[in-house]
Amino acid sequence: MDKEVVLIDGVCVLCNRLAHFIIKRDKAKKFLFIPFQTRSGKKYLEEYRISTENPDFLIVISGKDYFVRSTAVLKIFRKMPGFWPVFYPLIFIPRVIRDYFYKLIARNRYNWFGKYPSCPIPAGELKEHILVD
């Protein structure tokens, strides 16, 4: 697969908004979003031996490698069009510092942004970017 696979929490409103934000700008269709809760999402988690009993992070799978939390977000920004790649040099900030802020948002995402009762089914153009099975 030539796309970056992005595993998200399908019931998280913030995660879904981030996916829509990226999809809107992803004219080259570089990213495929897959919720953790789907069969395909679970298959990727098993294949890469990623435990997500209580998923609180974003995962980007690129070939045989995968990236989580702030590193995953920066990897996405690096491949986005426009000015977004200017954020990639933040990768040089130690991961423990970057992930501290990421985890703060992740822990509170349901309280601050909300949670869907189930993973929303994409419509229209979004279907090409989001795999829900």
> 90-110, pLDDT tens digit by residue?
999 999 999 999 999 999 999
Fold observed for domain 4-116? Glutaredoxin (3.40.30)
| Mean pLDDT value of segment 20-36 | 91
- pLDDT confidence of residue 57: 83
The Cα 66–Cα 93 span in angstroms is 19
**What is the reported pLDDT for 54?**
65
- The pLDDT assigned to 125 comes to 67
Report d(CA 122, CA 130) in Å as an integer.
Answer: 7
User: C-alpha 50: how far from its chain's center?
Assistant: 14
Q: How far apart are the first and last CA of the chain?
A: 18
Angle in degrees, 0-180, between the axes of helices 95-113 and 13-25, rounded to the nearest 10: 110
Q: Is the pLDDT of residue 85 over 70?
A: yes
Residue ranges of domains in the chain: 4-116
- Helices vs strands, H then E, count in the chain: 4, 4
Mean pLDDT of all residues belonging to the chain:
89
Mean pLDDT, residues 16-25: 91
Q: Tokens 């209580």 appear where? A: 54
Identify which has the larger pLDDT, 30 or 128.
30
